Structure 1
Amino acid sequence: MNQHAAPVGGCEHYIHRTASRLREAGIINTLLYEVDGAISPDFLRAFDHSFPLVEPARQLNAIGGDLVYLHRVDNPELFGVLQELTLPVFRFYHDHQLFCLREHKYTAIGSQTCTRPTGLGCYACLGFLQHSDRWPHVGLRSLGALHARQAANRHWDGHLVASEYMADHLAEHGFHRQRTHVVPLFVEHSGDDAPEQKQCSCDSGSPRVQGKGVVGFAGQLVRGKGVDVLLEAMTRLPRQTHLRIAGSGRQQSELQLQSERLGIADRVQFVGKLNSDALPAFLRSCDVVAMPSRAPETFGLAGLEASGLGIPVVATDVGGVRQWLRHEHNGLLCLPNRADALASALARLLESDALRRRLGENAAVVCREQFTAERHVLQLLRLFRTCLRGERL
């Protein structure tokens, strides 16, 4: 079950990839999606059946499945229906939707990373304010309503997360730790060696020039991703260093203006949003990939995508990034919201071919050995089958 039936974001990409792998393992998948969600025929092909959620109780009885795998939905009425059913329910927590009034998990004032459980302090953060389409264009969010949704989700048979950070965060919100399981995400491409010197399909035709210093970023252009800090860091790097940004989002125009204001517009290229087929070529066009997030990543799959291709990553030490990035082994960590620290880490990699090669090779090995689709699906099936046998998870 999910709000959307289309590749809207990372959650949906995960659902599509996992459904395809589960089908290969002989599992019959039926997708139930919200009637107001996005729909894509290509997305639906990964499933044996798909239906809009209209009468969930009747639909689930008619489908006759063995268990429910819940994803990004925020429907209290649906939660109530699921609690009444005898079917086991597992939920994968892809983001902080249930654990932050703002959903962003960084402070409204000062943009500082937040890892605290929801409470009265959220009001001081102005988390109760939200945009509204109706005049005066300001709505209110209730902490009580958020806590009620948390309480409803604590009933599920299994809580799945991609990192130890997220498992701890659920525990801080009263979720049963023994029913919370860390099932790390995966990448479906990997590289044993340093990235090839090849043209990027999204480029205008210019080949990648080794040694010029190409920093890459792939992700949403929203404040939580910290691209503004990355632009500030670029002013501290040599002028021959270039930045390539793949993605789209509500902060794009602001970031483009910032690059002009900082005098680095000629060194920054916005290539737009890329599909999963074009992403590997983009990543290979970079010497280093930056993940400057200020919002705590629940895992940080964008960084793992680069690691799988043997490209070293510089990431801020927030959220679940340490689940796959070991400092000085397969990448570098730095403090969030610190352009100086980010620039220093990027400079270390750009100035040393040997360091880039060593970290990149280690990154590819870590991905190949620990973060594969086969490993992920095997963990899922073990949990599902253990629950269906009535054994303790």
Structure 2
Amino acid sequence: MKILHVFNRHRGGGGADNAWDATIALSRRRGLQVSTFERDSRDLPPGLAGKLSAFANGLYAPGAMRDFAARIAADRPDIVHTHELYPLLTPWLFELCAEAGIALVHSAYDFRITCPIATHHDGRGVCTRCLDKGAHQVVLRNCRGNRFESVAFAARHGIARWRDFYRHVDQFIVLTEFSRGWLSTHADIPAERISVNECAIPADPDPVDPAQGRYIGFAGRFVPEKGVSLLLAAARMTGIPIRMAGPAGCDPAPFEAQGVSVTIGGDPATLRDFYRGARALVVPSRWFETFAIVAGEAMAQGVPVIAARIGALRDTVREDATGLHFAPDDAGDLARQMRRLWEDDALCRALGAAAHCDVTARFSEEAHFRRLIAACDRALASAKR
């Protein structure tokens, strides 16, 4: 099977980038003939020039279209597997795949198909206005916090809906049953065109004893929808020490000023040590999430997770089995669950052990690859029909 993976790297990296890198590496190890066609948002020039370039290419990227057309004509892949495409590629590429008769698989790591800014969170709370009232709601509510960017995101989403790009996709891949149901319900995509394939996260062969953890951790971007302020409020209520880890580009200063230890960037070994030093990881997201790779990574070390009872977090973290849930946006309920794990060694160990077993069974490379091949086979059969 000859597969061409297509993606646009995010400027600050993140879970989606890690997920497709892991899938590509695994596919190569398993003997698939894999190549890539990629762009990188870090290549955009700084300042206004970069914003204008992102805006123009997000609407239509002529250079990328020419290069991609030449690539598929030369390589003739059996399958094109697309991931994140904005702003330097865009789903106009789907039409080239359809014209060439190439089976198309698309991995949806977020809510890009149904939300112009991909999160269904407008900075104040969960928002689904664009589903009912149109993409211009992004501009009216200035969901990006920058009027120019809000216009750009609304315009490219409007074009995607006008052209109905996603009709060309033979098989969608999502990370949880929640996302499968979301696309089926809110994007009118038939359930048989959507495959669930959780991320490949190897379980550490030497799981930690989480009851020895010295803090409760948070890992992720320091943005409103991730709920960092909620965690800080809960920490003040409990007095429990917390530590935070964020990708390169995050500003640690506001949190360090409050006495919080913050790690920025770092290699996988650094992040592994961060998880292994924690008694629990908190995922206090205020948006639906589509998986939360950090939750899986912590569980892979034998560390339980305290997650908001929202979106796909209910799939990734199994309530009272591999972790605890709390009411979304409720700092008091989060504080209550933090105290439970902080004060109960037996509960902490039991949840951590179960979390490690769950990662071993559900998120193993073998399980991920098996589900990936099944999705590709369905795409090939659909393309032939």
Q: Shorter-chain-normalised TM-score: which range?
A: 0.7 to 0.9
1:36-55 to structure 2, matched below 5 A, reads 54-55=66-67
2:69 counterpart residue number: 57
Deviation, structure 1 residue 76: 4.2
1:149 counterpart residue number: 160
| Structure with bigger RCO (C-alpha 8 Å, 6+ apart) | 2
1:205 counterpart residue number: none
Counterpart selection for 2:193 from 158, 171, 179: 179
Is 2:164 aligned against 1:159? Answer: no
1:170 counterpart residue number: 183
Q: What percentage of residue pairs aligned between the two structures are identical? A: 24
- Tell me how far apart the structure 2 counterparts of residues 128 and 80 of structure 1 sit (CA, whole Å): 31
2:110 counterpart residue number: 95
Deviation, structure 1 residue 273: 2.1
Check whether the contact 1:91–1:159 (CA below 8 A) recurs between aligned residues.
Answer: yes
Q: TM-score, normalised to structure 2's length?
A: 0.82
1:332 counterpart residue number: 324
- Tell me how far apart the structure 1 counterparts of residues 204 and 128 of structure 2 sit (CA, whole Å): 32
Deviation, structure 1 residue 383: 2.3
Letter in structure 1 aligned against 2:67: E
1:223 counterpart residue number: 224
- Tell me how far apart the structure 1 counterparts of residues 248 and 326 of structure 2 sit (CA, whole Å): 24
Distance 1:327 1:77, change over 3 A: closer
Check whether the contact 2:81–2:105 (CA below 8 A) recurs between aligned residues.
Answer: yes
Deviation, structure 1 residue 148: 4.0
- Tell me how far apart the structure 2 counterparts of residues 344 and 196 of structure 1 sit (CA, whole Å): 18
Deviation, structure 1 residue 385: 2.9
Gaps spanning 5+ residues in structure 1: where?
A: 40-51, 198-209
Deviation, structure 1 residue 100: 1.6
Deviation, structure 1 residue 128: 5.4
Counterpart selection for 2:295 from 298, 303, 306: 303
Distance 1:154 1:195, change over 3 A: farther
Q: Tell me the matched-pair count.
A: 355
Is 2:204 aligned against 1:190? Answer: yes
Is 2:379 aligned against 1:378? Answer: no
Letter in structure 2 aligned against 1:242: P
Letter in structure 2 aligned against 1:233: A
Deviation, structure 1 residue 19: 1.2
- Tell me how far apart the structure 2 counterparts of residues 90 and 368 of structure 1 sit (CA, whole Å): 26
- Tell me how far apart the structure 1 counterparts of residues 272 and 370 of structure 2 sit (CA, whole Å): 25
Distance 1:76 1:288, change over 3 A: closer
1:271 counterpart residue number: 263
- Tell me how far apart the structure 1 counterparts of residues 354 and 38 of structure 2 sit (CA, whole Å): 39
Q: TM-score, normalised to structure 1's length?
A: 0.81
- Tell me how far apart the structure 1 counterparts of residues 135 and 155 of structure 2 sit (CA, whole Å): 12
Is 2:97 aligned against 1:82? Answer: yes
Deviations along 1:180-217, whole A, 9 cap, x unmatched?
Answer: 111111212335654379xxxxxxxxxxxx47x51111
Greater percentage in helix: 2
Deviations along 1:306-363, whole A, 9 cap, x unmatched?
Answer: 1111111100012211222111111001122111111111110000001001101111
2:55 counterpart residue number: none
Task: Please tell me the root mean square deviation across aligned C-alpha atoms, in Å.
Answer: 3.0
- Tell me how far apart the structure 1 counterparts of residues 10 and 29 of structure 2 sit (CA, whole Å): 20
- Tell me how far apart the structure 2 counterparts of residues 220 and 343 of structure 1 sit (CA, whole Å): 21
- Tell me how far apart the structure 2 counterparts of residues 365 and 129 of structure 1 sit (CA, whole Å): 40
Check whether the contact 2:217–2:244 (CA below 8 A) recurs between aligned residues.
Answer: yes
Is 2:236 aligned against 1:235? Answer: yes
Counterpart selection for 1:31 from 30, 36, 45: 36
Letter in structure 1 aligned against 2:157: L
Letter in structure 2 aligned against 1:321: L
Distance 1:144 1:332, change over 3 A: same
- Tell me how far apart the structure 2 counterparts of residues 129 and 336 of structure 1 sit (CA, whole Å): 20
1:48 counterpart residue number: none
Counterpart selection for 2:13 from 8, 13, 20: 8
Is 2:347 aligned against 1:320? Answer: no
1:49 counterpart residue number: none
- Tell me how far apart the structure 2 counterparts of residues 217 and 309 of structure 1 sit (CA, whole Å): 15
Letter in structure 2 aligned against 1:288: A
Deviations along 1:114-151, whole A, 9 cap, x unmatched?
Answer: 4676231765674555466xxx8565257575254252
